[in-house]
Amino acid sequence: MHKEIQLTTPNKKVGSVIIPKGIVLHDTEWFDLDGVIEIFQSEDTLASAHLLIDLDGTRYVFGEDYEKLYHAGYSIFKGRKWCNNFMLGVEFLGHTEQKPLTEDQINSFREWVSSRFLDYDLEVSDITTHKKIRTDYINEFGDKDGIIKAKRDISDIEFKKVIDSLFV
């Protein structure tokens, strides 16, 4: 089992309670663990995630599953807008377009997610990427003010690896 460390973040909607219907995978596009933690813990960055997984598989938890943390922004999943209202956010440290996830990261995610399939009655198809839910939003509603960042996030190849690992 990988280590799990409890932290906090101010970047959440205090008082909102969510019922998780899915999980959004992200990558940080940055290899600086302390830097990411600092951003997640700084007021007004509006950046956080329920979980940050370090290269060695250590899990940093920033909030309870029922808390509404800010990770998805403009987004749509299975016809429902605003994914922060009903999805958990998982950040992998790193830049998956440049370097693959580590085995520890993938195994750590599997450990974390296994009980949640039962707890929230989730299926593998309820796991998606930030890129997909953001792109689907833009395709449906546009980005007329140009405010939806074109940041890339977890690569399709690494996402597929994570999903495939759940079936072995």
| Residues within the interface to Zn ion (CB under 5 A) | 26, 130, 153
Q: How far is the CB of 56 from Zn ion (least distance, A)?
A: 21
Nearer to Zn ion, 68 or 130 (CB): 130
Minimum distance of Zn ion from residue 38's CB (angstroms): 17
Cβ proximity to Zn ion: between 153 and 158 the closer is: 153
Nearer to Zn ion, 50 or 130 (CB): 130
Contact between residue 28 and residue 150 where contact means Cβ atoms under 8 Å apart: no
Q: Which is nearer to Zn ion, 3 or 151 (CB)?
A: 151
Tracing tokens 């290269």 back to the chain, one arrives at 55
**Cα–Cα distances in Å, from 168 out to 1, 44, 116, 122, 161?**
17, 41, 17, 17, 11
Cβ–Cβ under 8 Å, residues 9 and 63: yes
Least separation in angstroms between residue 154's CB and Zn ion is: 8
- Pairing verdict, β 87-92 and 12-17: unpaired
Least separation in angstroms between residue 2's CB and Zn ion is 22
